[in-house]
Amino acid sequence: MSAPSSERKAVLITGASRGIGRATAVLAAERGWDVGINYARDAAAAELTAQAVRDAGARACVVAGDVANEADVIAMFDTVAAAFGRLDALVNNAGIVAPSMPLADMPLDRLRRMFDTNVLGAYLCAREAARRLSTDRGGRGGAIVNVSSIASRLGSPNEYVDYAGSKGAVDSLTIGLAKELGPHGVRVNAVRPGLIETEIHASGGQPGRAARLGAQTPLGRAGDAQEIAEAIVWLLGDTASYTTGALLDVGGGR
C-alpha cells in the first residue's frame, strides 16, 4: 500500500520521458516519492512515464521545458511544487550526445548545443533547486542527484570529447555544490553511468555501442537503466543520509 500523499516526498526528474529518467521516475514512485516528469519534446513518451508512476501508486506531474532556458526552468519548478505542495529533491538527468567524431571535426553549433544542455541546463536546474531546498533560504533541505558519466574520466577520445567535457563540468558542480549546500540541509551527489542500453547511443550514431563495448568491461556486459535508477534513488533517500559530494560510478568496472 502506498503512503498517503501528505507523507510522500516529491522529486523533479529532468529528461524523464525515456531511458534512465523514466526508470528513475518509476522506481522513485515505487519507493514512496511523488514525481515531477520533465520532458523537452516528446509529450506522448512523458505521459507513458506518468502513467507508470501512477500505476506504482504515486502522483505524477508532467511539465515541458528546456533545461537550458531559465524561464522554463523556473516555471518547471513552480509547476511541480504547486502540484505536490512541496519539493524535496532534484534528479538532474536531462542530457544529449551527438554523432561520434574527433574534436577537430566538431562544428561550433554542436558544441554550443552540447554545453547549453549538459552544462548550462544542469547548472540552472541545480541553482533553482538550491534556492528552494536550502534551509537558509526557507527550504526544508533535500537532495540533488546529478547524472554524469564515466566519460568524464575516460575522455571519450575520437568519439565524444565534448560530451565527456560537459560531464566533467557536472562532476565539478557536484563537488562544489555539495560543500556549499551541506551546511544548509541539502546533499548533492552524482551517479556516473557507464555503457547503458538506452536510446542515447542511437542518437550518437552508434545504436549497438553499449552491447559491443559492454562485453569488454570487467563484468562482461552493458548495464541497463534500472541499475542506474537504483543508484539514483538510493542517493535521494534517507539511507544515504551521510553521503554528499560523491561521484558514484555505475559502469561495470570500466
Report the CATH number that the domain containing residue 172 is assigned in CATH. Answer: 3.40.50.720
Which of the residues are catalytic? Answer: 163
Find out whether 150 and 193 touch, Cβ atoms under 8 Å. yes
Q: Is the pLDDT of residue 78 over 90?
A: yes
Residue type, 248: L
**Can you tell me the distance from the alpha carbon of 29 to that of 52, in angstroms, rounded to the nearest whole number?**
9
112-138 pLDDT tens trace: 999 999 999 999 999 999 999 999 999
203-247 pLDDT tens trace: 556 667 777 787 889 999 999 999 999 999 999 999 999 999 999
pTM recorded for the entire structure: 0.94
Banded model confidence at residue 201, pLDDT cuts 50, 70, 90: low
The domain of 75 spans: 5-250
**Can you tell me the distance from the alpha carbon of 240 to that of 47, in angstroms, rounded to the nearest whole number?**
30
Of 77, 76, 116, residue with least CA distance to 96:
116
185, with CB counted inside 10 A (0-12, 13-18, 19+), is middle
Find out whether 251 and 217 touch, Cβ atoms under 8 Å. yes
Give residue 200's pLDDT: 63
Number of domains, the chain? 1
**Can you tell me the distance from the alpha carbon of 172 to that of 178, in angstroms, rounded to the nearest whole number?**
10
